[in-house]
C-alpha cells in the first residue's frame, strides 16, 4: 500500500512541475521582447539626436558662409566704389598704350575667392553708359525703345517694357525754344526728373530671366543706365552709345562725323570738337548738356556664392548729387 501511495504522489508532483515550467517560459519571452523594444527606442532616439546634431552643424556652417558673403559684399562695395574713378583711370592708361584707337569698355569684371566663398564682381562707370532718362526726355518713348535695341541688342529689345513715371520734357522744351529769341540764351541747367528709377521700369524682368541665364539683367545693362549724371562720357562710351545719344540732337550723318572726328583725335577737348563740327549754336548747347569728358557715378554688381548655401546677389549704385555728395542705392536681386 505504501508503495502505491508513493507512486500516486509522484504522479501528482510531475504535472505540477510541468506547469511551473510552462509558466516560466512566457515570462522570459516578455522580458526578451521588452529588452528588444527598449533597445530599438534607444537606437531611434540616438539616431534622431545624431540627425539633429548634423542638421544644426550644417545650419551653423551655412550661417557662417552667409555671414562671410554679406561681410565680403559690403567690404567690396565700400572699397571699390570709393576707388572706382582711380581704378578706371589706371585701366584707361594701360589701354591707351595697348589699343589707343579702341574705346575701353565701361565695365571691369574680376573674381575674388575668400575662404570658401567666391565673389564675382562687375564694376561699372554709369556715366559711360547710355543715359536712358536723358534719352527719354529728349527723344520720347518710341525713340528710347529703338535706341535700347540699337545699343543693348535683340535680347534686351524683346524684354523692354518701358514704364516711365513722368511724361517726357520734349514737348515743353520745344514750346520754350519756340518762344526764345536769338537775343535771349536758352537755359541749360534745368531740372530733369528721373523717368526710370530702376530696371523694373525698363524691362520685364520675368521675361528677361526666362530668355537667358540668371545673369541676364547684368549682361543686358552693361551699356545702359538709369542713373549717372545724365551726361555721356565720350572717353569711355561705346560708339553705339555716342551715336544713339547725339543723333537725338543732330542728324545721323553729322553724329557719325562727330564720332569719327573724335576717334581720329581722342585728345581733343569736347568744346573744340563741337566748335569745329557743329555750326548751329542751339545744337551745340544741347550736345554740351548731354556729353561730358569725366565720370563721377559708378555701380557694382556682386555675386557671392559657395558650394553649399544660397547665393547672394546685390547691385549698388553710387551717385553724386549737385553738391558732390555721394549717395548709395542698393538693390537686392
Where are the strands (E) in 126-193, listed by range? 130-131
How is residue 157 written as a grid cell? 529689345
pTM of the model: 0.77
Distances (CA, A) of 30 to 18, 26, 33, 35, 166: 19, 6, 5, 9, 84
| Residues 138, 141, 146, 152, CA torsion sign | positive
pLDDT at 183: 46
Using alpha carbons, select from 118, 127, 160, 108 the residue that is nearest to residue 298: 127
Write down the pLDDT at residue 178. 45
Task: Tell me what pLDDT residue 128 has.
Answer: 96
Q: Where are the domains of the chain?
A: 1-41, 65-332
Of 227, 234, 242, the C-alpha closest to 321 is: 227
The DSSP result for 170-187, as a single string, is: HHHHHHHHHH--TTSPPP
pLDDT at 5: 53
3-state SS, residue 66: helix
Question: What is the per-residue pLDDT for 118?
Answer: 93
pLDDT of residue 31: 73
What phi and psi values does residue 224 have, to the nearest 5 degrees?
-125, 150
How far apart CA 53 and CA 71 sit, in angstroms, is: 27
**Main-chain phi, psi angles of 324, to 5 degrees:** 85, 10
Q: Count Cβ atoms below 10 Å from residue 162 Cβ, excluding itself.
A: 16
Each of the 333 residues of the chain gets a pLDDT tens digit; together they read 555 555 555 555 555 555 545 555 555 667 777 777 777 878 877 777 777 776 766 666 677 778 889 999 999 999 999 999 999 999 988 887 777 677 788 999 999 898 889 999 999 999 999 999 999 999 999 999 999 999 998 888 889 999 999 989 865 554 455 455 444 444 445 567 899 999 999 999 888 877 656 688 898 999 999 998 999 999 899 999 999 999 999 999 999 999 999 988 878 889 999 999 999 999 999 999 999 999 999 999 999 998 887 889 999 999 988 777 888 888 866
pLDDT of residue 83: 94
Q: How many CB atoms lie within 10 A of CB 265?
A: 10
Which residue shows C-alpha cell 516711365?
A: 164
Amino acid at each position: 500500500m505504501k508503495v502505491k501511495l508513493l507512486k500516486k504522489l509522484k504522479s501528482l508532483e510531475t504535472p505540477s512541475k510541468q506547469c511551473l515550467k510552462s509558466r516560466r517560459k512566457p515570462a522570459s519571452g516578455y522580458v526578451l521582447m521588452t529588452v528588444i523594444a527598449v533597445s530599438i527606442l534607444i537606437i531611434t532616439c540616438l539616431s534622431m539626436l545624431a540627425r539633429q546634431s548634423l542638421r544644426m552643424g550644417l545650419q551653423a556652417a551655412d550661417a557662417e558662409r552667409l555671414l562671410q558673403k554679406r561681410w565680403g559684399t559690403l567690404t567690396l562695395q565700400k572699397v571699390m566704389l570709393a576707388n572706382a574713378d582711380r581704378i578706371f583711370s589706371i585701366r584707361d592708361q594701360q589701354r591707351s598704350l595697348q589699343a589707343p584707337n579702341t574705346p575701353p569698355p565701361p565695365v571691369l569684371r574680376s573674381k575674388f575667392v575668400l575662404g570658401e566663398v567666391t565673389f564675382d564682381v562687375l564694376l561699372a562707370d554709369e556715366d559711360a553708359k547710355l543715359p536712358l532718362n536723358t534719352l527719354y526726355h529728349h527723344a520720347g518713348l518710341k525713340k528710347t525703345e529703338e535706341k535700347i535695341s540699337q545699343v543693348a541688342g535683340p535680347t534686351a529689345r524683346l524684354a523692354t517694357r518701358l514704364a516711365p513715371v513722368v511724361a517726357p520734357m520734349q514737348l515743353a522744351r520745344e514750346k520754350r525754344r519756340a518762344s526764345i529769341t536769338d537775343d535771349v540764351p536758352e537755359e541749360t541747367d534745368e531740372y530733369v526728373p528721373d523717368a526710370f528709377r530702376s530696371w523694373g521700369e525698363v524691362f520685364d524682368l520675368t521675361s528677361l530671366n526666362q530668355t537667358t541665364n540668371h545673369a541676364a539683367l547684368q549682361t543686358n545693362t552693361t551699356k545702359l543706365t538709369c542713373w549717372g549724371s545724365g551726361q555721356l562720357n565720350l572717353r569711355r562710351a561705346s560708339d553705339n552709345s555716342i551715336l544713339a545719344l547725339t543723333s537725338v540732337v543732330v542728324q545721323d550723318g553729322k553724329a557719325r562725323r562727330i564720332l569719327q572726328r573724335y576717334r581720329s583725335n581722342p585728345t581733343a577737348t569736347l568744346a573744340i570738337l563741337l566748335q569745329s563740327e557743329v555750326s548751329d549754336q542751339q545744337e551745340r548747347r544741347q550736345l554740351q548738356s548731354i556729353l561730358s569728358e569725366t565720370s563721377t557715378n559708378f555701380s557694382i554688381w556682386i555675386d557671392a556664392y559657395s558650394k553649399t548655401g544660397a547665393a547672394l546677389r546685390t547691385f549698388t549704385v553710387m551717385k553724386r548729387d549737385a553738391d558732390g555728395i555721394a549717395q548709395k542705392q542698393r538693390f537686392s536681386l
